[in-house]
Amino acid sequence: MAERYNYLIIGGGIAGTTAAETIRSQDGAGSIALVEAEPHFLYSRVALPDFAAGNIPAEKLMLRRLADYESAKIDLYLGERIESLDLGAAEARTASGKIFIFNKVLLAGGGHPKFWPQEEGALSRVARLRTMQDAGRVRELMEKYREVEWVNPKLGIKEKRRGKVLVVGGGLNALDLIDIFYNAGFEVTVLLRKKRFWEEHLDERGSAMFADLWKSRGIEIFFDSEVKAISEALDSARVLTDKGDKIIADIVAVGVGLERNLELAKSCALMHGVGIRVNEFMETSRKNVWAAGDAVEYPDLYSGMDKLSGSWSESFMQGKVAGFNMALNDGEENKPACPAGRRVKFDTVFSYAVTHLKNHIALIGHAREDVGIEAVARVREMRGEYSRFFLKNGIMIGAILLNGQEYLGKVVRMIRERRDLSEHKSNLADPDFDLNKI
């Protein structure tokens, strides 16, 4: 039998959960269903590296308890995946056969790690990091291969060595994997497809600073290389690159990017580009359909360019905006309980800050090279500090800061204020200039 709801939320990550809670804060009576494929209440993906590393127990990841959903009168369907969505009939079906009829729907399905065909060659040694289950597996693999026994062929005796990890990829997820294994005492090798690190964000100097950071920790890097094949021998994984290099690893940690969960959106023609297309109100092109979080592509109000969502703060704020706008009274048709009001806009400046090998890295706004964008870098060698600012028509639209956390707030403000910084370009490049004076 079909269940009827005023609001159907597909995906119980930070975007979907925040949307459901925001709806409830605005609409005390409307019924809300939250459908989540994983068997867990909301947990922090941001804290997964700490859990994978064994620094925190599973309980510390959890951000909600059953009682939170109950008291907000949100009907939670855990371990249920929406498999089909029919917007004409306002009906969604789960893999287990449940049917939901809804007035309004939010797509907040996030993403999953990109499929990587090469891993088929060594499945028992591959680690990824997106879900709690992935993090649990990283812990298991670390336990198993932290110290490896091998037979020294020259002496013919058993010896012990440190476990070896090959990290494939160079995105933020890969940086987390490098940290986890390096800090646990593994010998780490990194394989990057590009000729240098983050070439779309950094100039050569910046890329070299990252390479130096890794080398100083004894991390070996293969640039401009791809994995051609992996085979699993009894005692290790054997990796062959397209350049003919052979790498032996106990664990292959894969961080090759995020694949957005777009099947439902595709089936409803909600796509445009690479994510679910939304406007600044998180509305899709269809009435009564919103989307939020990692699955969306939105108009970045500061750079004027389309941007794929990809951070916790974006997903949280988009969930809030979507939830608020969904709960607005838009006519008799849906009969929501809350009074009419004005739609709110998503206008958060993207920022993603991580600590990598004890160095602070922040990506803010549109921090990549593009047509019509000018980049200004400054290096404060003694402090291991590197910053690169991105300007469009003299206005700052993004920055990358290595060990420049003291300026994070200032940079976000400069982007929000849309001030013309044309006359400050030389100041931005000057390592002795205090940015707070702008």
Ligand X SMILES: Cc1cc2nc3c(=O)[nH]c(=O)nc-3n(C[C@H](O)[C@H](O)[C@H](O)COP(=O)(O)OP(=O)(O)OC[C@H]3O[C@@H](n4cnc5c(N)ncnc54)[C@H](O)[C@@H]3O)c2cc1C
Q: How many residues make contact with ligand X (CB under 6 A)?
A: 36
Question: Considering only CA atoms, which of 301, 317, 297, 320 is closest in space to residue 309?
Answer: 297
**Count H helices, E strands: the chain?**
10, 28
Candidate ranges 11-19, 208-216, 390-398, 410-418; the one touching ligand X (CB under 6 A): 11-19
Smallest gap, in angstroms, from Cβ of residue 364 to ligand X? 11
Q: Site residues for ligand X, window 258-287 (CB under 6 A)?
A: 261, 264
Dihedral sign of CA atoms 214, 218, 219, 221 in order? positive
Candidates 294, 297, 300, 385; binder of ligand X (CB under 6 A) is 294
Beta bridge partners of 82: 94
Q: Measure the CA–CA gap between 255 and 175, rounded to whole angstroms.
A: 8
Q: Site residues for ligand X, window 73-92 (CB under 6 A)?
A: 81-82
Candidate ranges 42-50, 181-189, 210-218, 324-332; the one touching ligand X (CB under 6 A): 42-50
Describe the chain by its helix, strand, coil percentages, rounded to 5.
30, 35, 40
> Which lies closer to ligand X via its Cβ, residue 38 or residue 306?
38
> Which lies closer to ligand X via its Cβ, residue 13 or residue 336?
13
Show the binding pattern over residues 188-227: x = contacts ligand X (CB under 6 A), - = does not.
----------------------------------------
Q: Measure the CA–CA gap between 261 and 248, rounded to whole angstroms.
A: 33
49 binds ligand X (CB under 6 A): yes
Number of other CB atoms surrounding residue 349 within 10 Å:
20
The DSSP H or E segment spanning 87 is none
Judge contact between 148 and 163, C-beta under 8 A.
yes
Question: Considering only CA atoms, which of 101, 69, 66, 71 is closest in space to residue 85?
Answer: 101
Going along 118-267, which residue ranges are E strands?
A: 126-127, 147-152, 157-162, 164-168, 187-191, 220-222, 227-232, 237-241, 246-249, 251-254, 258-260
Judge contact between 190 and 222, C-beta under 8 A.
yes
Judge contact between 139 and 45, C-beta under 8 A.
no
36 binds ligand X (CB under 6 A): yes
Candidate ranges 199-207, 307-315, 365-373, 420-428; the one touching ligand X (CB under 6 A): 307-315
On the 0-12 / 13-18 / 19+ scale of CB atoms within 10 A, 416 is: middle
15 binds ligand X (CB under 6 A): yes
Tokens of 124: 């028992």
Smallest gap, in angstroms, from Cβ of residue 278 to ligand X? 12
Candidates 9, 20, 32, 35; binder of ligand X (CB under 6 A) is 35
Q: Site residues for ligand X, window 101-140 (CB under 6 A)?
A: 108-111, 129-130
Question: Considering only CA atoms, which of 233, 230, 232 is closest in space to residue 246?
Answer: 230
∠ Cα 366 319 370 (to 5°): 15
Smallest gap, in angstroms, from Cβ of residue 223 to ligand X? 24
> Which lies closer to ligand X via its Cβ, residue 15 or residue 126?
15
Q: Are strands 187-191 and 220-222 parallel, antiparallel or unpaired?
A: parallel
Candidates 5, 11, 41, 376; binder of ligand X (CB under 6 A) is 11
Q: Measure the CA–CA gap between 23 and 119, rounded to whole angstroms.
A: 41
Smallest gap, in angstroms, from Cβ of residue 87 to ligand X? 15
Candidate ranges 6-14, 194-202, 224-232, 322-330; the one touching ligand X (CB under 6 A): 6-14
Candidate ranges 29-37, 299-307, 320-328, 369-377; the one touching ligand X (CB under 6 A): 29-37
16 binds ligand X (CB under 6 A): yes
> Which lies closer to ligand X via its Cβ, residue 35 or residue 327?
35
365 binds ligand X (CB under 6 A): no
Q: Measure the CA–CA gap between 198 and 428, rounded to whole angstroms.
A: 21
Tokens of 210: 């990252």
Smallest gap, in angstroms, from Cβ of residue 370 to ligand X? 22
Tokens of 243: 């350049």
Smallest gap, in angstroms, from Cβ of residue 7 to ligand X? 15
45 binds ligand X (CB under 6 A): yes
Smallest gap, in angstroms, from Cβ of residue 355 to ligand X? 9
Candidate ranges 117-125, 304-312, 325-333, 401-409; the one touching ligand X (CB under 6 A): 304-312
Residues that bind ligand X (CB under 6 A): 10-16, 35-38, 45-46, 48-49, 81-82, 108-111, 129-130, 173, 176, 261, 264, 293-294, 310-313, 315, 352, 354
